[in-house]
Chain A
C-alpha cells in the first residue's frame, strides 16, 4: 500500500480556493486516489476519487499529474463549514486496500 504525505495543517480565509497536495511516490498501477473529509466526532466522508488527470464533482476537484506520484485536492471558495481534517488515501480494492489514513491535513477556514 502506497503511503502518503500531506501537510499537517493549513489556514485559509473564507471565499478563497484551497489546494491540498498529497505525495504518494510509491503508487502502484492499480491504485486509486481517494480523499475524505472528517469533522470532529464524526466518521470520514468521501469527497472525491480519481485515477488520473482531473476529476470534478459538485464539491471539489482532484488533479493528478501524469506520473501520479502526487495529487491535489482543490476546494473552491471555502466557507467556515469546510474547517475539517482532509485525508488522502491511495490503494486498490484487490490489495490490502483502504487502510492507511495517515495524519491528514487540518484545514482551518478563517472569517
Chain B
C-alpha cells in the first residue's frame, strides 16, 4: 500500500510570493491533516480536512489555507510568504471516522525555504 505522498519535496520562494503544496493520502483515508515543523516551535497543527470539509483548525493566520478534493487529495496554500514561513510542512492521513481511534500516517514533508 502506497504511503502518504507530498509534492514537491523541496521548494524555494521569496517573500511576498504564494505557494501551494500537495498531499495524496493513503488509499481509503478520508482525513488529511497539515502540520508545520520548525526548530523553534516544533510540530504545530495547521488544519484537518475530512470529506472535503475543514474539521479542525490550529492557531495560524488566514494566509494559511487548505482544501480537500473528492478523491481525498489535499492542497495547502500560503499567501504573502514571510521569512518565518520557512519550515517543513507535513501532511498526515488517517482512517478517522472509522471505528476505534485511528493513528495518523505522515508523509516526509515539503521543505519550504523563503529567501
Interface residue ranges, A against B (CB under 8 Å): 32, 34, 36, 41-46, 49, 51, 87, 92-93, 96-104
Contacts and interface: CB of A to CB of B under 8 A. Distances in A.
A43 B109 contact: yes
A92 B56 CA distance: 13
B107 A43 contact: yes
A41 B91 CA distance: 13
Contacts of A51: 101
A42 B103 contact: no
Contacts of B111: 41
B101 A42 contact: no
Q: What is the interface of chain B mostly: helix, strand, loop, or mixed?
A: strand
B contact residues, range:
20 to 34
Given A93-B96, A97-B56, A43 B101 contact: no
A54 B82 CA distance: 46
B42 A43 contact: no
Nearest to B96: A93
Contact of B92 (A43, A87, A93, A104): A43
B7 interface: no
Contact of A43 (B96, B97, B103, B108): B108
B103 A97 contact: no
10 contacts: A32-B101, A46-B105, A51-B101, A92-B101, A93-B101, A96-B56, A97-B48, A98-B33, A98-B48, A99-B56
A92 B111 CA distance: 29
A99 B58 contact: yes
B42 A46 contact: no
